[in-house]
Structure 1
């Protein structure tokens, strides 16, 4: 067993402003003694997000998972929600907690997003919504999916968890769909340490989400779909400070991606995952696709990198895949993604020497039969 490296390279290092900026913002919250319950900093963060997306109907939540759950609850979804078979488990879990039933369909091979043909084939009288995921910030085929949703008479709810700063066809990615959700978790480009947001595009949902996130309390009594889904004032203060740093982080991540492209160019058994034309910048994650004849699959690659101090994630398989999720049919492309898609370390402060170390380690793994076997 190889000893752990003394300088680990994690999957993502959270963006945090300098303490000279963050300290006073947190100090103001403490001095105000207003710590939660939809305080002024929560409302300010909602206004900042609204301005950045160009949509007025925005409500923040305690997490991105809760954002999906409360979006479904605000729409009153009862029945089956079509979701991609290759997605982070939070998507299906949130649908279940909202009282609906997730039904998985296969994905597009190139962009790893819900296949519109598979979605259309899965629509039944029980379908109450279509919930695609903008996988690793790559837009789903929203034009085709919106047409399917309109034909079925159900809302299109887009999970844009890592989509802040990404544009598609000249519009913020979060502006697509009847409703969209955002994660503000520390692993995302912009974050509040923990948090999420629901964006109403064609449906007004923010007011309903604000009620639901506060146990559903209001006129006539508490709603059964309510929960404690609030964001604290401290988290909102962090979110506003981080949001101001997002443009600079996007610039840094674009440079890091360019360095990766150069460093990985000579490794013929993997390549960067494609990004849908008309979308960008591609700054949410560094996802690679392993070739069918690669010396390792996704799980074995992550296992081989770990003891060498490099953290990677195979988000579509292994411990991340939900067992016994209802499916509309076989999902061979999602199964293949579980075997072939890996996210390598990616954040704006990643150094060129660290990227070179990752590339060198990948080459070493391919040359080592005991690791590749």
Structure 2
């Protein structure tokens, strides 16, 4: 009998009785949506936990980006990283702005400040950087670029719940920050997102925008239906109570990976910027250029062992037809070098050993195959 598959991530699910009690309360109230009391209560919980008073939830992390751009009244080009999940540029497009891609830093995979500076034009109305795989972007340098250009700095912090940087929540940086509350994230509401700020009044604008832009003087044209339901908010409030335990579990899983991968010279964990902790968003690794296998091939081979992995910077995940400000060689190469391995708090040490053993076997087999092919090619 083949072993059970090891999935990329499994949702954090509290005890069934806790979820049932929360959902029963919503159903008994008869209020399922339309910015009800549980949505506001969930916002208050998130705000208190982060220490960020300006916070509003919405339907997804993608709409959070859209609503953030709209709340800031952006109406031109927005600089974004060339290596990012498609939701980043899609959120900008839905806000009726034009995403312009620039290259990323080769070490931390975040938006390159020099590339962003070079891309600034009179049409630039914002910079949207990503804390890639939970690793902080170069906040100081990007802040300087944004301030010199007179445009707001937005951080897509989709995966950054629980991560601190310089003793502050990573979500508290920038003019505005956005969070995903999708079920695959460390804390979630099944589907959802949030927009927050420590320096801008954005929460009320986001609440209006998410509700079709409706107001006493009429509806804003940028409004949409991006509300979170009462059911999602109720689940989110319960899941939030599991966040600290999930963080502790993920730290343990990461330690198992670091120990297991230590002997493989051709695969290394993507570094985390100093001053940030803990690294619990994902288990991203980089494959060396001369290694036995590239990222898409490794993911395909791992599937044969029943192990799910993702090469998020491959062509499959890169949006087409975006404007580019200059060459993006680093981002272009990442599609062949970066892999996210299975990572969630419920993994056992034997699961991690199984992933590492499969990687080792794949690398050894590929190395032997290449060596044999070279010998056969000799005259």
Instruction: State the TM bucket, normalised to the shorter chain.
Output: over 0.9
**Cα distance between partner residues in 1 of 2:168 and 2:30:** 39
> Which of 84, 93, 106 in structure 1 is aligned with 2:90?
93
Q: What TM-score does the superposition give when structure 1 sets the normalisation length?
A: 0.97
Does residue 358 in structure 1 map to residue 345 in structure 2?
A: no
Does residue 172 in structure 1 map to residue 169 in structure 2?
A: yes
Q: How much does 1:367 deviate?
A: 2.2
Does residue 201 in structure 1 map to residue 191 in structure 2?
A: no
Aligned residue for 1:161? 158
Aligned residue for 2:104? 107
Q: What TM-score does the superposition give when structure 2 sets the normalisation length?
A: 0.96
Does residue 148 in structure 1 map to residue 145 in structure 2?
A: yes
Q: How much does 1:105 deviate?
A: 0.6
What SS class does the counterpart of residue 242 from structure 2 fall into?
Answer: helix
Aligned residue for 2:8? 11
**Cα distance between partner residues in 2 of 1:113 and 1:5:** 39
Does residue 212 in structure 1 map to residue 204 in structure 2?
A: no
309-318 vs 275-284, greater mean Cα deviation: 309-318
After TM superposition, which residue ranges in structure 1, 4 or more long, deviate above 6 angstroms?
Answer: 370-373
Once the two structures are superposed, residues 263-299 of structure 1 have per-residue CA deviations (whole angstroms, 9 ceiling, x without a partner) of: 1111111011100000010000000000111111111
Does residue 321 in structure 1 map to residue 318 in structure 2?
A: yes
Equivalent pair of 2:32/2:231 in contact (CA under 8 Å):
yes
Aligned residue for 1:21? 18
Q: State the superposition RMSD in angstroms.
A: 1.3
> Which of 271, 276, 285 in structure 2 is aligned with 1:274?
271
**Cα distance between partner residues in 2 of 1:33 and 1:143:** 48
Once the two structures are superposed, residues 88-123 of structure 1 have per-residue CA deviations (whole angstroms, 9 ceiling, x without a partner) of: 000000000100000001000110000111111111
1:132–1:334 Cα change, 3 Å: same
Equivalent pair of 1:87/1:316 in contact (CA under 8 Å):
yes
What SS class does the counterpart of residue 81 from structure 1 fall into?
Answer: strand
What SS class does the counterpart of residue 323 from structure 2 fall into?
Answer: coil
How many residues get paired? 370
Equivalent pair of 1:181/1:199 in contact (CA under 8 Å):
yes
Gaps of 5+ in 1: none
**Cα distance between partner residues in 1 of 2:278 and 2:46:** 18
Q: How much does 1:371 deviate?
A: 10
Q: How much does 1:200 deviate?
A: 2.0
**Cα distance between partner residues in 2 of 1:225 and 1:172:** 30
Equivalent pair of 1:83/1:92 in contact (CA under 8 Å):
yes
Aligned residue for 1:338? 335
Aligned residue for 2:376? none
Aligned residue for 2:67? 70
Equivalent pair of 2:293/2:366 in contact (CA under 8 Å):
no
**Cα distance between partner residues in 1 of 2:368 and 2:14:** 39
Once the two structures are superposed, residues 125-174 of structure 1 have per-residue CA deviations (whole angstroms, 9 ceiling, x without a partner) of: 10000000000110001111011100000000110000111000111001
Equivalent pair of 1:296/1:372 in contact (CA under 8 Å):
no
Aligned residue for 2:130? 133
Gaps of 5+ in 2: 371-379
Aligned residue for 1:79? 76
Equivalent pair of 1:5/1:307 in contact (CA under 8 Å):
no
If you compute each CA radius of gyration, which structure gives the higher value, 1 or 2? 2
Q: How much does 1:337 deviate?
A: 1.2
Aligned residue for 2:374? none
**Cα distance between partner residues in 2 of 1:27 and 1:78:** 43
**Cα distance between partner residues in 2 of 1:192 and 1:160:** 16
23-32 vs 300-309, greater mean Cα deviation: 300-309
What SS class does the counterpart of residue 339 from structure 1 fall into?
Answer: coil
Does residue 182 in structure 1 map to residue 179 in structure 2?
A: yes
What SS class does the counterpart of residue 336 from structure 2 fall into?
Answer: helix
